[in-house]
Amino acid sequence: MDINYAFQLITDKLIVWAKELVRLLPNIALAAFILVFGFFIAKYVKNLLSRLIRKFMPNETLVNLFSSLIYFFLLGIVFFVALSVLKLDKAVTSMLAGAGIIGLALAFAFQDIAANFISGLFLSIRRPLLVGDIVKIKEYMGKVEEINLRDTTIRTYQGQMVIIPNKDVFQNPIENYSLLGKRRIDLKVGVSYGEDLEKVKEITLQAVKGIEGLAKEDEVTMFYTEFGDSSINYVIRLWINNTEQVNFMEVQSQSIINIKKAYDVHNIMIPFPIRTLDFGIKGGVSLGEMHHSKGTD
């Protein structure tokens, strides 16, 4: 190929491009102005909406999430308007189609992450638990240390940090011991069949009366529940005005001590399980007969 001819082709093409560039200069300037102006407008709207959302939604994570989504949505509009000014509509359509296909593929690939994320949104809106609450989720019980959009962290009473995916938190029952601001102790005890049950009830209620930490507005109650194998069983219910586990354990421990002391003073017996062995059942031999047969031998 002739070098001069090739050079002429390249020169002609560059001239055409230069003419097109000059022709598009107003559109390029307008698109640049739209991008710059749109960027500042989107940022202003984001800050304005953040302040408005914060008044109705105290959760800072959700405020940042929604304001960021609105911000990127506005930036997307600004970007596509700028491309339309440059008459790149076909490129915009192709980009949207490609983004849709990629988004669908990512949705299938990361469906667990998406489920945890959406569950985190619902947890942040409904707020069934807060940082610092004492909760039981599945088999884990402890204090909530952190709640984010993907998982919830609980510090158990054994000192372990348990990270639970928000999908499991949202789909399972949540026992929140801090929601009412108080907790109830259900203490189960048994007394001998030979005791005066009315007297036992009176002594028991008197024994736990005045324990430090009991809620003054809630009455201590006691109910006999069943005839056990070696005792008549009852449950005594005590409310404490502190939800911390150490206070719960302390009041429960002090209640056991007070009840045991009171029963010792009044000679009330807490029986231990008794087993009676009967060798005289049908087809068997009684202990007396066994002893007699050995003596004759």
Question: pLDDT tens digits for 183-204?
Answer: 999 999 999 999 999 999 999 9
Q: What are the pLDDT digits (tens) for 125-141?
A: 778 888 889 999 988 99
- According to DSSP, residue 290 is labeled H
* Residue-level pLDDT at 111: 65
Is pTM, for the whole model, over 0.85? Answer: no
Residue 95: band (very low, low, confident or very high) from pLDDT cuts 50, 70, 90:
low
Amino acid at 187: L
Give per-residue pLDDT as tens, 172-182. 899 998 888 88
All domains in the chain, ordered by first residue? 3-109 (1.10.287.1260), 128-176 (2.30.30.60), 183-265 (3.30.70.100)
Buried (b) or exposed (e) across 131-163, using 16+ Cβ within 10 A? Answer: eebbbebeeebbbbeebebebbbbeeeeeeebe
**CB-neighbour burial class of residue 30 (10 A; exposed 0-12, middle 13-18, buried 19+):** middle
Long-range contacts of 152-157 (CB under 8 A, 24+ apart): 152/123, 157/245
Query: Under a CB-based contact definition with an 8 Å cutoff, are residues 123 and 170 in contact?
Result: yes
According to the model, what pLDDT value does residue 129 have? Answer: 87
At residue 260, the pLDDT reads: 94
**pLDDT-above-70 percentage for the chain:** 71
- Whether residue 19 contacts residue 70, with contact meaning beta carbons closer than 8 Å, is answered with no
Mean predicted lDDT score pLDDT of the chain: 79
Sheet with 183-191, edge to edge strand ranges: 183-191, 232-240, 221-227
